[in-house]
Structures are given as structure tokens and as C-alpha cells.
Amino acid sequence: MIAVEAVNSSSTAAGDTQMDRVKQEQASGVADRSTKRPLDIRDHGDTGAYKTIGTPFVKDAKMTARGVNVFYGDKQAIFDVSLDIGRNEVIAMIGPSGCGKSTFLRTLNRMNDIIPGCSVKGDFSLDGDNIYGEDQDTVLLRARVGMVFQKPNPFPKSIYENVAYGPRIHGLAHNKAEMDEIVEDSLRRASLFTEVKDQLDKPGTGLSGGQQQRLCIARAIAVNPEVILMDEPCSALDPIATARIEELIDELKENYTIAIVTHSMQQAARVSQRTAYFHLGKLIEVGNTKQVFTMPRHELTENYITGRFG
């Protein structure tokens, strides 16, 4: 301390050092942060026109959604959202509870159709096909656009039957040998086969949570989907099971297009190439994940991902 004090006393003539200036600023109430109230969950609540910041559109999109509005009865849940899901990419949708991210995800394979009072407006396409067209078979659509849910929900059947069910109803296997191959291949792609190969006839519900979720992923990919929607697939899993699912997502993106809704910002940052930030039913910002997590362009995005509200 002695040396610094010596320096201190000797330079008082020079005076205006950094600490002095900061003290003066603090005394005079000049703060470096802006004095206006920061934007938070209450803001951007008006229902007028707005513009999504960033890059919602990509070249050669796998799925496109344009001018999407979703209502639950009188209540509007999604406001004029337009977004592309790029081919063989993982897009993460983040935002505070009630922001519409899950609702939007469910419009992509018409899961909202089964909710009474829910109406969906807008144009959706999958490789150019209108997925809300009158001649669109929703069962076929959901085979092309599969879904994995928050809570693992295996059928109360054997592990084998869980995976074989989809291919059977879609007629993808012509005999037992083909079906065995589909089941094994799907379980392998879901990184589950080696763990369950000796107990394929045991109930799927007897597996651990992480294994059950991988079983559900195997079930989803058994019907050869093009897109996999994941609605908080890891929220019921421990960190190790979560890491395995994330590793799996990384492998699956080689062959599939994946849209994932997650409450874990770190997970969005880890697994996705693009990130979309939803807020009170609006799509506020879309960008490359690296950009969104290092230099978000909208104040709401910044405040949400840095933990200033949510």
C-alpha cells in the first residue's frame, strides 16, 4: 500500500485521475446507464404493425410461414409473424412464457387444429406445399413434420412397438425383417439402440426419463420425417440426459430440419444455428445464434437473454 500512497500524494497536484472523475460523476448523479425505464415484459404490448428485426428469411427455406396470426377464441396469441425454417438447420425459438413460441411451433404441423376455439391465419408451406390446403392430410403432414414434446410420452407398449407403430400405420414396412431394420435404425439414430437392444420387448415406460425422450425421438424419426419440431424436449431431463439429446440434435441436423422451443437460453445457444426471439405474440428479432447471443439488435432481446426479465 505504501508505494501507491506515495504515488497518490505526489500526484494530487495533477489531480484529475480516473477515480476522482468517477467519484465526481457519481456525486453529480451522472450515471453511465440510460435514465429511461428499461424495456421489459410489459413493453411492445400494442397490437399495431411492427417489423421483425434481423433475418427472418433465408434462401432455400424448408418451411415458410407468412403473416401468421393465431387466435384462441377472442384472444390473439400470435401477431403477424413471418419466419423461414432453413433446410438442415436447427432454429431455436426463445422468449418469456406466453410469448407464443410454442403456439407458433404447433402451427407448423397443425397441432393447433385439435384445440377447440383455436384459429390459425397465414400462409404456410413445406417445400412449396401449402400445409393448410383443403386436400392436406394432417396425418401425412405430421409424418413429414414430426414432433417431440416436453414430457417424454412413450405409448404404454414395448420399446419395439413404440418405434414400429408409426411405420406400420404408414405402411413403410412390408415384412417383419424390414420392420426390424426400421426399428433398429431409428433407435440407433436416436443413440438408444445399444442401451435397449436386449430389452426391446420391455415396456417403453420402464426406461429412464432421458431414455424415454430418446425413444420418443426414435419414434418420431421412424416415419422418415423431413422436419422435427421439439417443444422443450429437455425440460424434464437431468444435465447428462440433456447433453445426450443435444448431441443427438447436432447429429440429426445432417438429415433433418429441426425447430426447437426452449426455455434454456444456454441450450438455444448451444444447439441452434439461428435464434428467433418472441415477445407477447410478436417475433421481435431473428438472427444467427452467435450474433443474437453476443450482439442482439433489439433491446428486448438483450434484456431477456441477459436475464433482466422473463
Partner 1 sequence: MHKTGPHGQHISQRYDAELEDLRASVLKMGGMVEQQGRAALESLVKGDEELARSVAKSDKQVNEIELKISDQCTDILARRQPTAGDLRLVIAIIRIVANLERIGDEAAKIGRMAKKLVDGNERQSYHSEPRHLGEGVLEMLKGALDAFARRDTDTAMEVIARDLQIDEEFKALNRLLMTHMMEHPNRLKNMLRVNSCARAFERIGDHATNLCEEVIYLVAGRDVRHLSLAEIRERLQN
Could you tell me the smallest distance in angstroms from the CB atom of residue 289 to partner 1? 11
* Sites for partner 1 among residues 113-142 (CB under 8 A): none
Residue 194 found at the interface with partner 1 (CB under 8 A): no
Q: Which is nearer to partner 1, 6 or 115 (CB)?
A: 6
First to last CA, the chain: 45
Q: What are phi and psi of 213, to 5 degrees?
A: -65, -40
Residue 16 found at the interface with partner 1 (CB under 8 A): yes
> How far apart (Å, rounded) are the C-alpha atoms in residues 19 and 149?
54
* Sites for partner 1 among residues 27-86 (CB under 8 A): 32-34, 37-40
Q: Are strands 227-231 and 61-72 parallel, antiparallel or unpaired?
A: unpaired
Q: Which stretch binds partner 1 (CB under 8 A): 16-24, 59-67, 90-98, 222-230?
A: 16-24
Could you tell me the smallest distance in angstroms from the CB atom of residue 106 to partner 1? 27
Count, residues in the chain: 310
* Sites for partner 1 among residues 210-269 (CB under 8 A): 265-266, 269
**Beta-carbon count within 10 A of 297 CB:** 13
Q: Where are the beta strands (DSSP E) in 24-152?
A: 53-54, 61-72, 75-86, 90-94, 118-126, 129-130, 145-148
- Which residue in 4, 114, 139, 240 binds partner 1 (CB under 8 A)? 4
- Which residue in 43, 180, 226, 302 binds partner 1 (CB under 8 A)? 302
**Beta-carbon count within 10 A of 41 CB:** 19
Cell 447436432 -> residue = 250
Q: Which is nearer to partner 1, 17 or 119 (CB)?
A: 17
Q: Using CB under 8 A, list all residues that contact partner 1.
A: 1-4, 6-8, 10-11, 14, 16-22, 25, 32-34, 37-40, 265-266, 269, 293-299, 301-303, 305-310
